[in-house]
């Protein structure tokens, strides 16, 4: 399927910093609950992510991640995920490897351009 450039510009992808990571035993697939800081404009949002096996809780804490911030909230078990944390499927087929800007000098809330 092909999309236009205008379609792509509707997806608001921002950089956030993971402030809290907790287990999510109620999820169907192994997952973590995250609290992510996107800076002043967007604030702190929560997300669930199937990164168990690809990342440890300790590794995730403080990590900068890329998230879609303009999807509607999604209910996952008893949890409301407010942003979609982006990642790629792990080659070992366990968890998702999260997308990070690779530099800590990126301002929180920066938009992918």
The predicted-structure confidence for 54-105, as pLDDT tens digits, reads as follows 999 999 999 999 999 999 999 999 999 999 999 998 887 788 999 999 877 8
Is it true that domain 10-98 has CATH number 2.40.50.140?
yes
pLDDT tens digits, 8-53: 999 999 999 999 999 999 999 999 999 999 999 999 999 999 999 9
* Residue 11 pLDDT: 96
* Residue 102 pLDDT: 84
Distance from C-alpha of 58 to C-alpha of 51, rounded to nearest angstrom: 12
- Residue 87's contacts (CB-CB under 8 Å, 6 or more residues apart) are 49, 51, 54, 96, 97, 98, 99
Asked if the model's pLDDT at residue 113 lies above 90, the reply is no
């Amino acid at each position: 399927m092909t999309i236009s450039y205008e379609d792509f510009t509707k997806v608001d992808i921002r950089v956030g910093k993971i402030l809290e990571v907790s287990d999510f035993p109620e999820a169907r697939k192994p997952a973590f609950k995250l609290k992510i800081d996107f800076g002043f404009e967007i604030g702190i949002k929560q997300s669930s992510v199937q990164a168990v096996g690809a990342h440890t809780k300790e590794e995730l804490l403080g990590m900068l991640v890329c998230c879609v911030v303009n999807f509607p909230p999604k209910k996952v078990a008893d949890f409301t995920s407010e942003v979609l944390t982006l990642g790629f499927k792990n080659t070992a087929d366990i968890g998702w490897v999260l997308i990070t800007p690779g530099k800590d000098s990126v301002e929180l809330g920066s938009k992918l351009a």
